Structure 1
Amino acid sequence: MTDFFKGLTPAKYEGPESTNPLAFRHYNPDEIVLGKPMKEHLRFAVAYWHSFAWEGGDPFGGRTFDRPWFGGDMDDARLKADVAFELFTLLDAPYFCFHDADVRPEGESYAKSVKRLNKLADIFEEKIAETGTKLLWGTANLFSNRRFMSGAATNPDPDVFAYAAATIKANMDVTHRLGGENYVLWGGREGYETLLNTRVGQEMDQMARMLSMVVDYKHKIGFEGAILIEPKPQEPAKHQYDYDVSTVYGFLKKYGLEKEVKVNIEVGHAILAGHTFEHEVAMASAHGIFGSIDMNRNDYQSGWDTDQFPNNVPEVALAYYHILKAGGFTTGGTNFDSKLRRQSIDPEDLLHGHIGGMDTCARGLKAAAAIIEDGTYDKFLEERYAGWNGKEAQAMLKGERSLEEIAARVETDDLDPQPRSGRQEYLENLINRFV
Structure 2
Amino acid sequence: MTDFFNDISPLAYAPDSTDLAFRHYNPDEVIMGKRMEEHLRFAVAYWHSFAWPGGDPFGAETFQRPWFGNTMDLARLKADVAFEMFNLLNVPYFCWHDADIRPEGDSFAESLNNFKEIIDYLGEKMDASGTKLLWGTANLFSHRRFMSGAATNPDPEIFAWSAATVKNCMDATHKLGGENYVLWGGREGYETLLNTDLKRERQQAGRFLQMAVEYKHKIGFKGAILVEPKPQEPSKHQYDFDVATVYGFLKEFGLEDEVQMNIEQGHAILAGHSFEHELALASSLGIFGSIDMNRNDYQSGWDTDQFPNNVPEVALAYYEVLKAGGFTTGGTNFDAKLRRQSLDPIDLIASHAGAMDVCARGFKAAVAMLEDGTLEAMRAERYAGWDSTQGKALLESDFASIAAELEAGDVNPQPRSGRQEILENIVNRFV
1:419 aligns with 415
CA deviation after TM superposition for structure 1 residue 63, in Å: 1.1
Structure-to-structure mapping, 1:367-382, within 5 angstroms: 367-382=365-380
- For residue 83 of structure 2, the aligned residue among 72, 82, 85 is 85
1:319 aligns with 317
**Gap regions ≥5 residues in structure 1:** none
- For residue 359 of structure 2, the aligned residue among 361, 370, 375 is 361
> SS of the counterpart of 1:354?
helix
TM-score (norm 1): 0.98
Structure-to-structure mapping, 1:36-435, within 5 angstroms: 36-397=34-395, 400-435=396-431
Q: Which amino acid aligns with 1:116?
A: N
CA deviation after TM superposition for structure 1 residue 87, in Å: 0.4
1:30 aligns with 2:28: yes
Aligned-partner Cα distance in 2 for 1:118–1:174: 8
TM-score (norm 2): 0.99
Aligned-partner Cα distance in 2 for 1:208–1:318: 33
Aligned length: 431
CA deviation after TM superposition for structure 1 residue 396, in Å: 2.9
Instruction: Spell out, residue by residue over 1:220-266, the C-alpha distance to the aligned partner (whole angstroms, 9 max, x if none).
Output: 00000000000000011110000001010011111111000011000
Aligned-partner Cα distance in 2 for 1:157–1:407: 57
> SS of the counterpart of 1:138?
strand
> SS of the counterpart of 2:430?
coil
**Gap regions ≥5 residues in structure 2:** none
Instruction: Spell out, residue by residue over 1:304-343, the C-alpha distance to the aligned partner (whole angstroms, 9 max, x if none).
Output: 1000000000000001000001100000000000000011
Q: Which amino acid aligns with 2:422?
A: Y
> SS of the counterpart of 2:425?
helix
Aligned-partner Cα distance in 2 for 1:354–1:410: 60
> SS of the counterpart of 1:98?
strand
> SS of the counterpart of 1:57?
coil
Aligned-partner Cα distance in 1 for 2:411–2:135: 54
Aligned-partner Cα distance in 2 for 1:394–1:32: 41
Instruction: Spell out, residue by residue over 1:176-232, the C-alpha distance to the aligned partner (whole angstroms, 9 max, x if none).
Output: 000000000000000000000001111011000000000000000000000000000
Aligned-partner Cα distance in 1 for 2:317–2:149: 31
Root-mean-square deviation (Å): 0.8
Q: Which amino acid aligns with 2:254?
A: G
CA deviation after TM superposition for structure 1 residue 406, in Å: 1.7
Q: Which amino acid aligns with 1:72?
A: N
CA deviation after TM superposition for structure 1 residue 392, in Å: 2.2
CA deviation after TM superposition for structure 1 residue 9, in Å: 0.6
> SS of the counterpart of 1:433?
helix
1:19 aligns with 18
1:3 aligns with 2:3: yes
CA deviation after TM superposition for structure 1 residue 415, in Å: 2.3
Aligned-partner Cα distance in 2 for 1:131–1:213: 34
CA deviation after TM superposition for structure 1 residue 8, in Å: 0.7
CA deviation after TM superposition for structure 1 residue 125, in Å: 0.9
CA deviation after TM superposition for structure 1 residue 290, in Å: 0.3
Aligned-partner Cα distance in 1 for 2:394–2:124: 59
CA deviation after TM superposition for structure 1 residue 395, in Å: 2.5
Aligned-partner Cα distance in 2 for 1:128–1:73: 21
Report percent identity of matched pairs.
71
Aligned-partner Cα distance in 2 for 1:41–1:410: 50
Aligned-partner Cα distance in 2 for 1:394–1:24: 50
Q: Which amino acid aligns with 1:57?
A: G
CA deviation after TM superposition for structure 1 residue 407, in Å: 1.7
Query: Higher mean Cα deviation, 77-86 or 31-40?
Result: 31-40
CA deviation after TM superposition for structure 1 residue 413, in Å: 3.2
Moved over 6 A (4+): none
Aligned-partner Cα distance in 1 for 2:300–2:218: 44
